[in-house]
Amino acid sequence: MKKFPKPAVVTSKCFEFDACRYNGVMIPNNFVQKLEPFVKFIPVCPEVEIGLGVPRDVIRVVEKKGKRLLIQPTTGKELSKKMYKFSDSFLGSLDTVDGFILKSRSPSCGIKDAKIFSDSENPSPIGRGPGLFAEKVLEKYPGSAIEDEGRLMNFTIRESFLTRIFTFARFRETKEKKTIKALVDFQSDNKFIFMSYNQTEMRKLGKIVGNQDKKPIEDVISEYEEHLNKALSKTPRRSTHINTLMHALGYFSKKLTSKEKAYFLDLLENYRNHKIPLSAVITVLQSWIIKYDEEYLERQTYFEPYPRQLIEISDSGKGRT
């Protein structure tokens, strides 16, 4: 059984942790529940932290002359300064963080779909955007695994989120060792993941660990981390997964019968046409990795990037890739 480090994940506290919503309720969330034994959650409710009680009157994002304000219409309170101050100090206090699960549509936590109004009275929104706490998260952690519960209903987005948080957690362990050898091993073991996400960045990462200029290890780690975030910033497409799987198939080209190869190519076609999940193709490859004792592939995190218990192929159908 593979061992996995525990990613540190900041989550909106109203998911499963506290009845802190404006109306005094807690929101049940299966994904957060399921993830609980495998990650270190850091729950936070920014609205409670800035002193708004539970229950409380609603607040809204108002945009005036290009400036975003957080207003409580019933009291006329303007809370932006407090919210930005809290967000900066909270995010600045975090030692390590590998991902965020935030509440959609919230004027504080929503990552892109909080309603934006032209003033505190007008009931019709003029657009949507991030809430004020999420705005600071996106600013401080560009390229990080930041999702809301709605997007995580989609299988592909959820799979990529899990892959990213567990890869970032493995990288944290790697960088603590502060050696080029540890970085080289990390690059080698995660190569197929990088191949499926972003081949250009994969090559850059390879160059960085090569360290031709003999830079100090701290500089190499920091440059590597920057490009690791870039490499994993976009959910992979089916076509890049197929390229990666074809590359893996190459390791068995002399060992498989023509019927076995044809069967695999047929599976890939079904995957390309959305008829089967990626895991169905990977399972076949894994059986060959075991049968032929293919050590290099066995070490590849691509084939098991996060604990199997977290695989859940239910899908909202939204945002398919």
Q: Is 201 helix (H, G, I), strand (E, B) or coil?
A: helix
- Does 59 interact with ligand SF4 (rule: CB under 6 A)? no
For ligand SF4, give the closer residue by CB, 153 or 284.
153
Q: Which residues, in sequence order, are bridge partners of residue 135?
A: none
- Does 281 interact with ligand SF4 (rule: CB under 6 A)? no
Q: Which residues, in sequence order, are bridge partners of residue 62?
A: 69, 117
State which amino acid sits at residue 170.
R
**Out of 103, 170, 191, 204, which residue is the one contacting ligand SF4 (CB under 6 A)?**
103
**Out of 7, 46, 99, 305, which residue is the one contacting ligand SF4 (CB under 6 A)?**
46
| 41 neighbors 11 (Cβ within 8 angstroms) | yes
| 183 neighbors 221 (Cβ within 8 angstroms) | yes
Please state the closest distance from residue 21 (CB atom) to ligand SF4, in A: 4
- Does 268 interact with ligand SF4 (rule: CB under 6 A)? no
* 76 phi, psi to nearest 5 deg: 75, 5
**Out of 29, 72, 87, 106, which residue is the one contacting ligand SF4 (CB under 6 A)?**
106
Find the part of the chain contacting ligand SF4 (CB under 6 A) among 41-49, 191-199, 202-210, 250-258. Answer: 41-49
Contacting ligand SF4 within 4-33 (CB under 6 A): 12-14, 20-21
| Tokens read off for 116 | 């934006």
- Does 198 interact with ligand SF4 (rule: CB under 6 A)? no
| Tokens read off for 301 | 């995190």
- Does 72 interact with ligand SF4 (rule: CB under 6 A)? no
Please state the closest distance from residue 50 (CB atom) to ligand SF4, in A: 9
For ligand SF4, give the closer residue by CB, 106 or 160.
106
Asked if the peptide bond before residue 236 counts as cis, ω within 30 degrees of 0, the response is no
- Does 163 interact with ligand SF4 (rule: CB under 6 A)? no
State which amino acid sits at residue 203.
R
**According to the 3-state scheme, what is the secondary structure of 129-189?**
ECCHHHHHHHHHCCCCEEEECCHHHCHHHHHHHHHHHHHHHHHHHHHHHCCHHHHHHHHHH
**Out of 32, 35, 47, 132, which residue is the one contacting ligand SF4 (CB under 6 A)?**
47
Strand pairing class (99-102; 40-44): unpaired
Q: What does the binding site for ligand SF4 look like in residue numbers (CB under 6 A)?
A: 12-14, 20-21, 45-47, 103, 106, 108-109
